[in-house]
Amino acid sequence: MSDVNKVVLAYSGGLDTSVIVRWLQDTYNCEVVTFTADIGQGEEVEPARAKAEALGVKEIYIDDLREEFVRDFVYPMFRANTVYEGEYLLGTSIARPLIAKRLIEIANETGADAISHGATGKGNDQVRFELGAYALKPGIQVIAPWREWDLNSRESLMAYCAERDIPVDFSSSKKKSPYSMDANLLHISYEGGILEDPWAEAEEDMWRWSVSPEAAPDEPTYIELEYLKGDIVAIDGQAMSPATVLEHLNKVGGANGIGRADIVENRYVGMKSRGCYETPGGTIMLKAHRAIESLTLDREVAHMKDNLMPRYAEIIYNGYWWSPERRMLQAAIDESQAVVNGKVRLKLYKGNVIVAGRESTDSLFDESIATFEADEGAYNQADAEGFIKLNALRLRIAASKGRSML
């Protein structure tokens, strides 16, 4: 193992990654560089510096990636109206390619020959981190401690810390957290604990970002989103950066009981997993984006996007953001967004996102044609007869040959 001289570790400052720092030092006799990303998880990331220093780490990276995360990853994903298996808005999945990218950048900057992460051997994240790393630096070595060590429980991790004088807060760590959680600006996820029983209802006090729909205000909240090329650029007339948009929508959405989901999903590694998710801002963004597209996109373009979306969602979920197929699909999706400009007015009420209006100078809605009133000759209704007969031709031929549908 002497071929590893320096490792860049995705470091949270928690129990697992603190153990990994010392384990890497002991097992590989190498220098460890820590990287902590602020992607809007809602917790202070700066304390990770003191924890890393106490473990003897000399090179410490703590990066604010919130704007890059939303601008370059969340926004492009939402241009496609991306949903995995009909429900999951990919909050964890879309953060991993950014972390992988930064791990490789730091490896290049520091001359490291390996990267490491704290993902377990059962989950999707190991795949996402490593696919991204290999795509960006083919020769990089990846060290995944959960696939190598025998520290397979919280108790064994705590014992390891005690044996090696690893500074962790034992007072808070002795009590087992009921959930495994992941948070960023797009969502917060909950797994484990009672959620491992798909029949068990999630406890109300589990949710952190949203009130229950029952406890939401009795009066609706109206908001107006402005779009430019498929991205939200202003809320209620106030220009906002991408990260600020999502922060604002999370607050107003959570206050109105929006964005909760309880899902059993199919992991890429083969097992089913039950998780609960809070994605208030993303839920609002999805509804609003479809509303502005309904006004501005050509029918066949819109339908083609809907056909491509499940494949695009799988690409992101499975960890192939840094792949040629994702880039190809992204180019097509982004091309479609040139005309997705305008405003959407939404009513938020007790867990519901209701479209109250939409307008655009790029609208394809023609009131003179669509009206139920006199259209002054804008549409000749007699034209519909030939259209119907031509589309029915194959059906009529089949029926005349005795191929009854009854």
Average pLDDT along the chain, 406 residues, taken 10 residues at a time: 87 92 95 97 90 95 98 98 98 98 98 96 96 98 95 86 79 59 96 96 96 98 98 98 98 98 97 97 98 98 98 98 98 98 98 98 93 87 95 96 91
What element of type H or E holds 62? Answer: strand 59-64
Give yes or no: residues 162 and 278 share one domain.
no
The one catalytic residue among 71, 113, 180, 362: 180
Query: What sign does the dihedral 292-297-300-302 (CA atoms) show?
Result: negative
Give yes or no: residues 355 and 375 share one domain.
no
Helix 15-28 × helix 154-164 angle, to 10°: 60
Q: What is the domain count for the chain?
A: 3
pLDDT at residue 230, as a whole number:
98
Bridge pairing between strands 188-191 and 272-278: antiparallel
Give yes or no: residues 137 and 201 share one domain.
no
The one catalytic residue among 22, 125, 274, 358: 125
pLDDT at residue 174, as a whole number:
42
Q: Is residue 194 situated within a structural domain?
A: yes
pLDDT at residue 203, as a whole number:
95
Which of 159, 176, 193 is at the close of a domain?
176
Q: Supply the range of the domain harboring residue 33.
A: 6-67+90-176
Q: Is residue 213 situated within a structural domain?
A: yes
Query: Is 113 designated active site?
Result: no
Q: Is residue 233 situated within a structural domain?
A: yes
pLDDT at residue 176, as a whole number:
53
Give yes or no: residues 170 and 185 share one domain.
no
Give yes or no: residues 387 and 242 share one domain.
no
Query: Is 63 designated active site?
Result: no
Q: Is residue 76 situated within a structural domain?
A: no
pLDDT at residue 267, as a whole number:
96
The one catalytic residue among 66, 96, 128, 260: 96
Q: Is residue 209 situated within a structural domain?
A: yes
Give yes or no: residues 218 and 347 share one domain.
yes
Beta bridge pairs of residue 62? 36
Residue 25: give its domain's CATH number. 3.40.50.620
Give yes or no: residues 350 and 262 share one domain.
yes
The one catalytic residue among 16, 113, 182, 362: 16
- Contact by Cβ (8 Å): 362, 296: yes
Q: Is residue 314 situated within a structural domain?
A: no
Query: Is 96 designated active site?
Result: yes
CA distance 288 to 225: 8
pLDDT at residue 2, as a whole number:
55
Give yes or no: residues 223 and 284 share one domain.
yes
Give yes or no: residues 346 and 385 share one domain.
no
Q: How far is CA 105 from the centre of its chain?
A: 22
Query: Is 197 designated active site?
Result: no
pLDDT at residue 171, as a whole number:
46
Give yes or no: residues 216 and 255 share one domain.
yes
Measured from the Cβ of residue 278, the count of other Cβ atoms closer than 10 Å reads: 26
Instruction: Record the pTM.
Output: 0.94
Give yes or no: residues 20 and 132 share one domain.
yes
Give yes or no: residues 156 and 210 share one domain.
no
